[in-house]
Chains A and B, each alone.
Chain A
């Protein structure tokens, strides 16, 4: 092949790489072209050019306004309005064009090194090594690879120092246009750079078209240029993304486009969706901009592609040679998600090729293990993802309005049962905040809280065990044990959704106080804030579990030789900081109530799980080395202590301590499993009995972790099947114009949504006709209305009432739903004004009596718009409100029996609020914000 050929009209050199050339002479005639974007640093660039050791044939300033033109004239440089003018103005003898951004500052020998390097390898495009102008010891770019979708992959670590580790001339996918030497004939043949593209994508475009035209693109690290990076700062990210898509459309052949375009769209969508929650909240909007931008410029893209086709001599495979496999965007997502769990087993200063480095990432076991966990989580939680939270136990749907919940939480009316000013459980506030963040989307918040809790629980376990240098199988096995272990499964099966979320947070709370104590006051404050935040979040879902970090750290001091009391000392302030998260709920309850109120599932692990755990624990203690035995002992005490606590229901211990026991047992058993599974790898040359024991322990641990398999068939992460969604939809369907009245649900306590009150041989509770909701899961202490309802039910059971519908109408009860037969249902067989609704899942009686929750003097019902009541247009009072009496329901309040009679304001009846509760809630919110802020600001950048 001739060294030169005519392509695309203009003369363009096509080097023949098949002919080996040696030591070409430095005969390049270089003209510099400064691409002006900002112009503020133009003088500095011109100074840099003036000082170059390699003599140039001229300097042209491209772009900018009159001021730029004036500066160019003053400094003896020519000026061209655009690239095409530049090409026309280039001196005839010019052989190369040195493209420079106006924020670049080349070192004195930059051009000489660039010319020498480019000519030595006969490159058509050669880029300099870019160093950060503000910190010249740090690398910005040494040429880059891309993926098939042209997303750049530099391979550099964040803030990687230049230790000349990349100083070798080599082929790259593209060089940044901040400093690139291009053969003039090629430059002309390609039609210069694409003026529509942002700086980085312009570099990709030029490099790829040059390679497709048969040119060689290299980086010459010996040519160093300081780059201020203004071009990147001043360019929106989406412009680069849009530019890359345009380049893709221009350079690839149709067969490549056939799969890259749909994949690019799909990956872009996935990336944008994920990034919306990973720190780039406008990612989806940006994606729309990318598509719109390219759609608008499609004609020009098609034209550019046509011109490109004329100059092409190489196929797409030539481009693929310098690309990394897979998707850089997905890799970035993986990085973000797995950054905290991924093993970085490569030491600093590696000199491997960037492309190879990219391939190596995918081969990391931790990456696949994380993917495996994600797959397990997705399968185990698929029903929740597709259908939302099943309504059972305390796992109840979030209401439509997060704001209404927060109003109730912040001193408003607790709508549970017949209502109360009593504060709501802290988990209600926490879930409402999450829902608010999810733009009040209840389904999304449920998914985030449930599946998210499983995910962060597993990641937290992996992270916690990494601290103890456990192997990858041990860490991920422990993660499975946390989610699939007997404690989590038992708690979940009882529908204790807050407890399940608490288990997900617990490893982070424990981890937060075991992390190394950082250097520097700011980092230390941040450390404590993070520990307080993690403990507070744990406490919000399982209040007694705020003690877990202290207990865990204390137990560890007792059993592990390498533990110190410092962790306990750090856990104490974390616990203290977590306490405000429990307000205003904590303000209104007593200690004995906290410890004895409510019921929870008795923890009775299955025999196989117990056997596996005992084997893992005992053998782990007997044959383990210092580290594994210490971890096993630590976890064992936590697990057994939790087990003991979770089995004390019959001794009068209430729900909150029992749930804390479950949380502790879940974390403890995960630690035991981790230690046990790690044993075989640590006993390589031990005696036979120890090796056998170690394998036995590992087997036991894996048996516990295998419990996760039991979560897979239902896809509800162990939560029970839905009992109160479609089963209660009849109420909404049969609702009158004012909305659905109340439902009295009757049955065994464990069959009812949330908490319940005790009747004769049954339990009962009220739920809204729209169905039970999570904020109403906990019943406040009985008040006068609750006593009246209990008395009414006793009369019905005694069969002293022939018209229970009429009796219950003042309570706003229109329906009675029986989950199981009981004495009330038997008694209601002889009544006069309730009819059974046929064809429903539960035996349901509907009252024939008008039973609104609130009614005006005209007999017209008022609608319940949680937590307020709203009258039809122009409705006036006084209004009977079937909520427990409280004079804060209105200015003209009078007691109507156990209920209220109030004068509405502007057609609305609203509870005025409890000032103390509101103050406590606001205080808790302020502490939350403060801790988040301090935790972020005080983050230790070294990651310690």
Chain B
């Protein structure tokens, strides 16, 4: 009896397994560096009679590249390319397709490698990096649908399966219910352009959240001002954003901040100039599931950069506007030691500047290599970046296709292009260690 009771008690006390639960991956991405991304999705590129885009490619190592152009449910064209490492290429889209808007998928056989799009035309300069992830939720702040400011949301679905998305828009009026934006179907290997100005006209500040119910898409905001355009996409959430590039020429910059989290977020802006930092120059709050637009005009004279620090993850984009001009780009979520700037220098007609921000406390020397399809064009150049300062470098070399910048410490990088009446902001792509 004792034995039986003992056995029974031991069996009773034996630990039961815990109920297995499946936690699906978070629906939003955290901004981070490129480690070994083997592909990039360029949601917006254009080539027609008046406009031309180049697909900028940068790779640290020898890679084969394949560009794929899904059109109307099928792969319309593929384009192979080989790159030495390190090397860069700028492939004119019109050499492959000239059908107007032509989103592309760029695949690399190895990494790190990155792609970006740079578009040019009469009064047009626009560019952005091509993200290598396909999040379920995308947040794109910084838009407007004021008069003469058409705002398009490009939904690119390069994948075989159809996607179903709901676009939620928050403006200065708050949440904007729009049945036209609910359960929008994006056929596989195709794209769809939503003219937000037609649905929600005359909104000063507009933040878009794309929720994917089925499949995946890669969105891009395309804001038009006159003949110029700005394109930007979402690169994730972060509590810190660095914008080494804020203002070029006469553009009036502002920061679009979106908080899609459930808690209010408090943020602080630090300003960096060539002389040094000015921390905490501006503070503000973004309510839960809300957005804000912060003017950066007047924060500093001359070239300057800003850093956004928040007590919760937010999305942020910097937009510069002037009469008939517009440029925008996402920030850098972290300071990295290596950056790729695909497409930088690909347009020989534009004035191109590289922007380096050292928000840290140690002086840095940034080495940047100018690259083309045969590798390094010239000896690497160097520039010292004092702690808490931003440096702008004019890229006077023509015919290059991209840049790799590196340093012994963390910094952030971007590049801009400027012609008469048109400007483009393009963020760099950090390389993980």
| Residues in A812-837 with C-beta less than 8 Å from chain B | 820-823, 826-827, 829-836
User: B378 in the interface, Cβ–Cβ < 8 Å?
Assistant: no
User: B301 in the interface, Cβ–Cβ < 8 Å?
Assistant: no
Spot the interface stretch: B5-13, B144-152, B252-260: B5-13
The proximity string for A residues 854-896 relative to B, scoring 1 for CB distances below 8 Å and 0 otherwise, is 0000000000000000000000000000000000000000000
Determine which of B4, B15, B20, B133 lies in contact with A748 in the assembled complex, contact meaning CB atoms within 8 Å.
B20
A637-B3, A748-B20, A801-B38 known; A648 and B159 CB under 8 Å?
no
**Which residues of chain B come closer than 8 Å to A614, judged between CB atoms?**
8
**Which residues of chain B come closer than 8 Å to A829, judged between CB atoms?**
134, 136, 159, 161, 212, 215-216
User: B37 in the interface, Cβ–Cβ < 8 Å?
Assistant: yes
User: A524 in the interface, Cβ–Cβ < 8 Å?
Assistant: no
**B407 CB, min distance to chain A CBs, angstroms:** 26
User: A641 in the interface, Cβ–Cβ < 8 Å?
Assistant: yes
User: B191 in the interface, Cβ–Cβ < 8 Å?
Assistant: no
Determine which of B7, B24, B161 lies in contact with A821 in the assembled complex, contact meaning CB atoms within 8 Å.
B24
CA distance A648 to B14 in the complex (A): 6
CA distance A429 to B4 in the complex (A): 37
User: A799 in the interface, Cβ–Cβ < 8 Å?
Assistant: yes
**Which residues of chain A come closer than 8 Å to B433, judged between CB atoms?**
none
The proximity string for B residues 47-79 relative to A, scoring 1 for CB distances below 8 Å and 0 otherwise, is 000000000000000000000100000000000
Would A621 and B1 count as touching, CB distance under 8 A? Answer: yes
**Which residues of chain A come closer than 8 Å to B381, judged between CB atoms?**
none
The proximity string for A residues 630-644 relative to B, scoring 1 for CB distances below 8 Å and 0 otherwise, is 000100110011011
How many residues of B sit at the interface, in one of the four size bands? 20 to 34
Would B133 and A644 count as touching, CB distance under 8 A? Answer: no
| A interface list, Cβ under 8 A from B | 558, 602, 604, 614, 617, 621, 633, 636-637, 640-641, 643-644, 647-651, 748, 761-762, 799-803, 820-823, 826-827, 829-836, 848
**A2 CB, min distance to chain B CBs, angstroms:** 84
User: B84 in the interface, Cβ–Cβ < 8 Å?
Assistant: no
Q: List 19 A-B contacts (CB under 8 A).
A: A602-B17, A617-B4, A621-B1, A644-B11, A647-B14, A648-B14, A650-B17, A761-B22, A761-B23, A799-B134, A800-B36, A801-B39, A802-B38, A821-B22, A823-B24, A830-B133, A830-B134, A831-B160, A832-B160
**Which residues of chain B come closer than 8 Å to A848, judged between CB atoms?**
160
The proximity string for B residues 334-356 relative to A, scoring 1 for CB distances below 8 Å and 0 otherwise, is 00000000000000000000000
**Which residues of chain A come closer than 8 Å to B10, judged between CB atoms?**
644
CA distance A640 to B161 in the complex (A): 54
**Which residues of chain B come closer than 8 Å to A803, judged between CB atoms?**
107
Task: List the B residue with the shortest CB-CB distance to A802.
Answer: B39
Determine which of A651, A762, A835 lies in contact with B160 in the assembled complex, contact meaning CB atoms within 8 Å.
A835
**A44 CB, min distance to chain B CBs, angstroms:** 70
A800-B38, A820-B22, A833-B160 known; A640 and B7 CB under 8 Å?
yes
CA distance A761 to B38 in the complex (A): 23
CA distance A916 to B3 in the complex (A): 45
**B27 CB, min distance to chain A CBs, angstroms:** 9
| B interface list, Cβ under 8 A from A | 1, 3-4, 7-8, 10-11, 14-17, 20, 22-25, 36-39, 68, 105, 107, 133-134, 136, 158-161, 212, 215-216
A826-B25, A836-B161 known; A633 and B14 CB under 8 Å?
no
Would B14 and A644 count as touching, CB distance under 8 A? Answer: yes
Task: List the B residue with the shortest CB-CB distance to A749.
Answer: B20
Task: List the A residue with the shortest CB-CB distance to B133.
Answer: A799
Task: List the B residue with the shortest CB-CB distance to A559.
Answer: B3
A640-B11, A748-B22 known; A830 and B216 CB under 8 Å?
yes
CA distance A614 to B73 in the complex (A): 66
Would B159 and A832 count as touching, CB distance under 8 A? Answer: yes
**B108 CB, min distance to chain A CBs, angstroms:** 10
**Which residues of chain A come closer than 8 Å to B160, judged between CB atoms?**
831-836, 848
**A320 CB, min distance to chain B CBs, angstroms:** 59
**A747 CB, min distance to chain B CBs, angstroms:** 9
A644-B10, A800-B37 known; A649 and B24 CB under 8 Å?
no
**Which residues of chain B come closer than 8 Å to A836, judged between CB atoms?**
160-161
**Which residues of chain A come closer than 8 Å to B107, judged between CB atoms?**
802-803, 832
Determine which of A602, A621, A641, A651 lies in contact with B7 in the assembled complex, contact meaning CB atoms within 8 Å.
A641
CA distance A688 to B158 in the complex (A): 82
CA distance A147 to B14 in the complex (A): 61
Task: List the A residue with the shortest CB-CB distance to B20.
Answer: A748
CA distance A803 to B66 in the complex (A): 12
Would B14 and A650 count as touching, CB distance under 8 A? Answer: yes
Would B14 and A651 count as touching, CB distance under 8 A? Answer: yes
**Which residues of chain A come closer than 8 Å to B3, judged between CB atoms?**
558, 637
CA distance A636 to B3 in the complex (A): 10
CA distance A848 to B75 in the complex (A): 13
CA distance A602 to B12 in the complex (A): 12
A643-B11, A801-B38, A802-B38 known; A832 and B4 CB under 8 Å?
no
Q: Assuming A617-B4, A802-B39, A848-B160, what are 18 further A-B pairs, CB within 8 angstroms?
A: A558-B3, A602-B17, A614-B8, A636-B4, A644-B10, A644-B11, A647-B11, A649-B17, A650-B14, A650-B17, A802-B107, A829-B134, A830-B133, A832-B68, A832-B105, A832-B107, A832-B159, A833-B160
**Which residues of chain B come closer than 8 Å to A821, judged between CB atoms?**
22, 24
Most chain A CB inside 10 Å of its own CB: which residue of B16, B23, B24, B160: B160
Most chain B CB inside 10 Å of its own CB: which residue of A748, A827, A832, A836: A832
Would B25 and A823 count as touching, CB distance under 8 A? Answer: yes
Task: List the A residue with the shortest CB-CB distance to B16.
Answer: A602
CA distance A186 to B433 in the complex (A): 114
CA distance A657 to B29 in the complex (A): 44
Task: List the A residue with the shortest CB-CB distance to B214.
Answer: A829
Would B4 and A633 count as touching, CB distance under 8 A? Answer: yes
CA distance A650 to B19 in the complex (A): 12
**Which residues of chain A come closer than 8 Å to B20, judged between CB atoms?**
748
CA distance A649 to B17 in the complex (A): 8
**A814 CB, min distance to chain B CBs, angstroms:** 15
Task: List the B residue with the shortest CB-CB distance to A555.
Answer: B3
**A107 CB, min distance to chain B CBs, angstroms:** 67
CA distance A826 to B15 in the complex (A): 33
CA distance A637 to B4 in the complex (A): 6
A650-B15, A801-B38, A802-B105 known; A830 and B159 CB under 8 Å?
yes
CA distance A604 to B39 in the complex (A): 49
**Which residues of chain B come closer than 8 Å to A835, judged between CB atoms?**
160-161
A621-B1, A799-B134, A830-B216 known; A637 and B22 CB under 8 Å?
no
